[in-house]
Amino acid sequence: MELTGHDIDMEQAWQIAYCLPVMKVELAAEAAEKMKISRQYIADRMERGDVMYGVNTGFGAFSDVKISQADTIQLQKNLIRSHCTGVGQPFSKAESRAIMFLRANALARGHSGIRVDVVEKILEFLN
């Protein structure tokens, strides 16, 4: 199955979640190209020093605080850490697989600026 960023239905998500039938999920070439263009756009803006919310600024009440280029990696790590808490029971394997599949498909649209290799790693885990 090719991920395009579109064209996913509940049946496909269910099949991936429960591995029925066993199928390999791959990133479509067109989706990878859109993702590369989006990623380059972010890189170009970063190089120019443009201010981009959540990329090189704080969040929420700190959105007007510009983060230095040297500190942007730590900013992103801190964002992940701040969201690494949960409430309730952990997701089942099937739920986790469905979430990963749907997230990979959403990222494949090429609107987020995420690197292609991140989505490919998610798909590697699914496969």
User: Which sequence positions are flagged as catalytic?
Assistant: 53
| Long-range residue pairs from 38-46, CB within 8 A, at least 24 positions apart, any chain | 38/110, 38/111, 38/112, 38/113, 38/114, 39/113, 39/114, 39/115, 39/116, 41/113, 42/113, 46/72
How far is residue 125's CA from residue 37's CA, in Å, rounded to a whole number? 25
Q: How far is CA 83 from the centre of its chain?
A: 14
Going by their DSSP bridges, the two strands 26-27 and 2-3 should be labelled as parallel
